[in-house]
Amino acid sequence: MQLRRFGFPPVLLALAACWPGCAAAGPDKDKPYVLEEYSPPPGRGELSTGQLIFECERHLGAWQRAMAAQRSPQNREDIQGIELALRSLAHREQKRLEEQAMSGQPRNRAVASAALGFTREPEVLSIIANNVADPDPMVAANALLGIGVLALPETPIRPIHEAVLRPTATQDVRRNATFAAFQIAQKERSDRDGTLAAIFAVVLDNPDPTVRAQAAAGLGLARAAHMAPPVAELLANDPDAQVRTAAAYALGEIGAPGSAAALVKALKDRDKLTAGTARASLVKLHGRDEGPDPGDWERALGLD
């Protein structure tokens, strides 16, 4: 995924880097993740279907491991290189990957659905989206990953919502559905019919803090005013600083005046980024900066 590194506040940059789960290619931290662009060995012809799926899975696994690593200039360069290599391979073999995504064995459908997202071509959207409803959770999870990488404005949102509501939904499905919805919300900065907010609401109490953080920030991007109270609850009580920071950001984006008290309390958060984000959201809400002291804000807003 080519991450955009401009125009977004720090909390969104951090969340955009949160890695989704590739159900067909799990991370292996003992293996290096830097890949050169794929080129067939001299004298060899076209890749067999099995070789193609293996190569795509290898690239997806490398991408996932790089996304899970700590961010640094080198790590970002590595991610970009892996994405370019995977995009090149997926473009070269797009027709065959489309065929495998539609009619291959479950593993092939899963890998092809994820890899096609890296083509960034709008014509693959319908093929990937159809696999979101696949009864095999591996296929569904990887299709959601592909949708999140594409993040097109015309993406149908309802199948993503249905995927997280499914009683049999695995954690990979929920994680990747949140990732897909977050990526779309980040590009759109709106919620056409409330479905994005409904997706985030379902996973707001997910055991994975990355999912909760993306859900909270996504509710802010969707301007989901009706979800301000549960987001404020996360800001006050979630044990994970990433989640609290995302909640503080979201309350500023939602813009509900009733969120001021929760944001003022968050100025005392033990995590500096959470406290700073709460202050930025208060400034956004009220158009002035009363500084880092909660008492000054309480007096200015009549909360004392």
**In this structure, is residue 45 part of a structural domain?**
yes
Residue 184 lies in a domain: no
- Residue 241 within a domain: yes
For residue 183, tell me if it sits in a domain: no
Residue 38 sits in the same domain as residue 95 = yes
177 falls within a domain: no
The dihedral built from the CA positions of residue 177, 184, 280 and 252, taken in this order, carries a sign that is negative
Does residue 92 fall inside a structural domain? Answer: yes
The tally of CA atoms less than 13 A away on the side-chain side of residue 183 is: 28
- Highest mean pLDDT among 27-31, 187-191, 203-207 belongs to 203-207
Q: Does the structure show a pLDDT above 60 at 41?
A: no
> 91 is in which domain, residue-wise?
1-170
Asked if 225 and 83 sit in the same domain, the reply is no
**Domain edge (last residue) among 109, 135, 170:** 170
The two three-digit tokens of residue 106, written as one number: 């479950």
181 occurs within a structural domain: no
- Give the Cα separation of 48 and 187 in Å (integer): 37
Better-scored residue on pLDDT, 88 or 37? 88
156 shares its domain with 20? yes
Considering only the C-alpha atoms of the chain, give the largest distance between any 2 of them, rounded to a whole number of Å.
78
**CA end-to-end distance (rounded Å), the chain:** 47
Q: Determine the pLDDT at residue 68.
A: 85
CA atoms within 13 A on the CB side of 93: 30
Mean pLDDT of 205-223: 97
Examine the domain organization and report whether 142 and 268 are in the same domain.
no
> What is the count of structural domains for the chain?
2
pLDDT of residue 123: 97
Q: What is the pTM of this model?
A: 0.86
157 and 204 within one domain: no
pLDDT band at 203 (very low <50, low <70, confident <90, very high): very high
Question: What is the domain-level CATH number for residue 269?
Answer: 1.25.10.10
Q: What is the chain's alpha carbon radius of gyration, rounded to the nearest angstrom?
A: 21
- Looking at the fold, whether 155 and 241 belong to one and the same domain comes out as no
pLDDT value at residue 192: 82
164 and 271 assigned to the same domain? no
Q: Is 182 within the bounds of a domain?
A: no
Q: Are 87 and 223 members of one domain?
A: no
Q: Which of 170, 204, 234 represents a domain boundary (last residue)?
A: 170
Helices 195-202 + 158-165 axis angle, to 10: 20
The Cα-based distances of 93 to 55, 56, 88, 98, 151 in angstroms read: 11, 10, 9, 9, 21
Q: Which of 109, 142, 170 is the last residue of a domain?
A: 170
